Structure 1
């Protein structure tokens, strides 16, 4: 076996890709690399381009409970994989991350405010780059958050700076898209998330253009509604800008959605109300989208049907209850789904997020290895059936919207 690369990452028996990257043959006397990547044939429209433990497409939601090995692989046929191989070969960052937030409305503004007041030693965030289409609001937020400090505090807080989208794509380790073109007003009946799709899709295009132009290889995380649909859109529109597959855009495993945390928070409120908080906190899991289709289980291996139904109902209707009180529900999403999730994600810990599951972005417990990948659990047969049905429902929805390959 001939290896090409550096001290961290090598390619096995792939001289053509190595030549494109400018990677030379690795000396036999060199220390063992951290990651040995084997080239595999696959479908870059349906599976991660670089992965530890590959699961070929076609298994639906099965990745949530089936084993998928520990070997590292990459899809040689993915035209855009080179920039991600180069990024993977660089020394991994473990602190002083640069995080960009585009869209400083209710959710993005509150998340930026909370993260700016949290010690870098805790969040690992050294710099917050802020962007907003409203120049006045952007200047206001930079002024306000740049003035956050503690009396005689010894723990540094993140630096807060304004940045354009191209600058963000040059410097960010993680970019959060939190912009919203129009949030349905109070009194709007039914699900208010999906109607935001087309306006927010248009708003997203500028960030995708900047990411492609700058060769962005960091995390691209969706916060705006509908979260899973827009994550799918980011993958689709960056790789098929005219509708035809080019595969030169964002890698699916470096995209994700931050929204499932608030669903879990609402479900936990129900568990606490019936005296089950401590047990559910140990064994409970939510799955699916940030929508009225989310599923919550007190224990996916041995579910209590009545409790699961109650927790799921509370998670699904929490935003309606806040709206019925005359307020827009943004505090829980900002704090649970972003502020309490992002630092854990950057630290490599298990979090709740949406990742690429057989061609569809699907909310589940997951972890950042190189890309976002769901973590496997013991799941009862009846729960597996529900997850398979939900995965199929989301795939059909993405296909109907013209954003699934």
Structure 2
């Protein structure tokens, strides 16, 4: 193994980088900060950086859904001090095939986040309300932008006038934005949505109906993020989140000739927030039957917010029949709300949006779609100072087959 110092950070690799300053292992072992493990992987099929949760993920040869599977044993031999650093969440995998890979060495997550929300419709407005009420400890400001200037002014007035009875002076600052300022933040939240079917329409998968229109809009903002050299999180709440994430990633990484140069948004910067409400809906239906109540503590949700969703009743004792029934109920829950004559946006805006975003910036476990091997796949994860940390579990073979089927479905769409 080779050891280097770059930008006062410790780097390790299993092959030599002639341009880097080499140091001895004895000197490297004394380093107490974040460690960066260097890899060389196809940037179209691998993340720029992520948190290494197991020694088997230290020097990956490729990214697959096996990243969600807890390794049963170690396949590489590493020094004990590096193993201890991995166990302490102090190791970041860093893909040097990205032209801007060294930016990861100097990036720091903010103590208090500046979050800008784009699109102040039903979802955007509800999401903002949740962030305003619950985010005072971690959010410095909420920026608002909508093409309808009256909506902008309305939410600036309304949100600025939400204050707790104890007159807390540390309330979140509300800022009205121009489009040119939307990427002056730590997290950009895309809530723009066009082509939402009216209540009573016969569409079975509303999210796919919205993709064509929403993709055009998100591509515009992805290009703008590239122009602004945006370093924060590009969060997608509009449907279909997983497919829009991929569209944003691809568009932001094209040069003026339409060629992929990977100088735009890094894959780990883009996150889709749609799976949180599916987990919440699964919990709701699971509590209706004694046979599925265990989902609350043992179950997991995977995949997209719609067709391809997988609800596992338990990751400890997976039951395919119970899981399939829960998946069906969860997937059609939005149709039940629509049958009442209303659009189902409150639970998605809060469970997938506000609460999941707050969990993200607090480094807590939550559900969101992240980049795995070129595709954005929803699963449980958390954002640590060392990077994205995917939850790994001992997945049942039948469940893993279903996950791979959904993964292929999402991979083939764009």
Of 178, 186, 192, 2:199 maps to 186
1:220 and 2:240 correspond: no
Tell me if the contact between 2:51 and 2:388 (Cα under 8 Å) persists in the aligned partners: no
Tell me if the contact between 2:277 and 2:347 (Cα under 8 Å) persists in the aligned partners: yes
Cα drift, residue 249 of structure 1: 0.7
Cα drift, residue 235 of structure 1: 0.7
* TM alignment of 1:2-401, pairs within 5 A: 2-6=4-8, 9-11=9-11, 16=19, 32-53=31-52, 54=57, 56=60, 58=62, 60-67=64-71, 70=86, 71-87=91-107, 90=108, 92-93=109-110, 95-118=111-134, 120-121=136-137, 124-154=138-168, 156-170=170-184, 172-189=185-202, 190-240=204-254, 242-275=257-290, 279-369=294-384, 370-398=386-414
Three-state SS of the structure 1 residue aligned to 2:401 is helix
Q: Distance in 1 between matches of 2:264 and 2:118?
A: 19
Q: Distance in 2 between matches of 1:51 and 1:107?
A: 30
Tell me if the contact between 2:275 and 2:368 (Cα under 8 Å) persists in the aligned partners: yes
Tell me if the contact between 1:80 and 1:249 (Cα under 8 Å) persists in the aligned partners: no
Q: Aligned in 2, Cα 1:14/1:386: closer, same or farther, shift over 3 Å?
A: same
Superposition CA RMSD, Å: 2.4
TM-score, structure 1 normalization: 0.87
Three-state SS of the structure 2 residue aligned to 1:193 is helix
Cα drift, residue 16 of structure 1: 4.6
Tell me if the contact between 2:117 and 2:190 (Cα under 8 Å) persists in the aligned partners: yes
Three-state SS of the structure 2 residue aligned to 1:224 is coil
How many residues align structurally?
380
Q: Aligned in 2, Cα 1:208/1:304: closer, same or farther, shift over 3 Å?
A: same
Three-state SS of the structure 1 residue aligned to 2:295 is helix
Tell me if the contact between 1:181 and 1:203 (Cα under 8 Å) persists in the aligned partners: no
Q: Distance in 2 between matches of 1:274 and 1:261?
A: 21
Three-state SS of the structure 2 residue aligned to 1:101 is strand
Three-state SS of the structure 1 residue aligned to 2:188 is strand
Q: Aligned in 2, Cα 1:291/1:29: closer, same or farther, shift over 3 Å?
A: closer
Q: Distance in 2 between matches of 1:338 and 1:367?
A: 15
| Structure 2 unaligned blocks of 5 or more | 22-26, 75-82
Q: Who is 1:401 aligned against?
A: none
Superimposed CA distance per residue, residues 129-164 of structure 1 (whole angstroms, 9 cap, x where no aligned partner)? 111111111111111111111223337331111123
Cα drift, residue 376 of structure 1: 0.3
Moved more, 260-269 or 110-119: 110-119
TM-score, structure 2 normalization: 0.85
Moved more, 279-288 or 235-244: 235-244
Tell me if the contact between 1:293 and 1:316 (Cα under 8 Å) persists in the aligned partners: no
Cα drift, residue 330 of structure 1: 0.3
Q: Distance in 1 between matches of 2:241 and 2:287?
A: 27
Q: Aligned in 2, Cα 1:11/1:273: closer, same or farther, shift over 3 Å?
A: same
Q: Aligned in 2, Cα 1:56/1:46: closer, same or farther, shift over 3 Å?
A: farther
